[in-house]
Amino acid sequence: MNYYNIITSTDELTVVSEYTPTYKTAADYQSEVDLEREFVEILTEQGYERLHITNEAALITNLRHQLEIINNFTFTDDEWGRFFSGCIANNAESIVAKTRKIQDDHVQVLRRDDGSTKNISPPQEEYPQQSFASDKSI
């Protein structure tokens, strides 16, 4: 049986691709641990750096570091505190509002210590430093 994947869709047109899936059965059961180990190996071979993030503080520190690299900018501790609590982890926003911000309004304005402003944005295409976290203890 053939399947169709929608590649893109607008009001005027839809582009689809057709493929016939190949069915194969595994000789042995692959555990979740083995699957994760293989995935980590593939990412490492592709040049990604493995990060060992084991708690929320390390995750937030890595987020700050990655945003600084991407935006070629170094936050002061006060700037980061305002930006993180106001734009990223704002307790007054619902999960839907936070999701919408990430997907639709991803460029955020940072009010700097000197009163000036700076646009802070996530990567648009490719991360300058490829890294991934694989520890599940967060």
DSSP alpha helix (H) spans, 90-129: 95-104
Count of other CB atoms within 10 angstroms of residue 123: 14
* 19 within some domain: no
* 98 within some domain: yes
**Residue 79, domain extent:** 32-123
Residue 138 clears pLDDT 50, i.e. is over it:
no
Q: What is the DSSP string of 69-101?
A: HHHT----HHHHHHHIIIIIS-TTS-HHHHHHH
What per-residue confidence (pLDDT) applies to 78? 96
What per-residue confidence (pLDDT) applies to 127? 46
- Burial class, 75, CB count within 10 angstroms (exposed 0-12 / middle 13-18 / buried 19+): buried
| C-alpha torsion sign, points 106, 47, 37, 23 | positive
What per-residue confidence (pLDDT) applies to 133? 58
Per residue in 23-53, pLDDT tens?
766 677 788 999 999 999 888 888 888 888 9
* 134 within some domain: no
Per residue in 82-127, pLDDT tens?
999 998 899 999 999 888 887 888 888 898 999 999 999 876 654 4
User: What is the identity of the amino acid at 81?
Assistant: G
CATH number of the structural domain spanning residue 105: 3.90.640.50
What per-residue confidence (pLDDT) applies to 62? 93
* 15 within some domain: no
Per residue in 49-91, pLDDT tens?
888 899 999 999 999 999 999 899 999 999 999 999 998 899 9
What per-residue confidence (pLDDT) applies to 15? 78
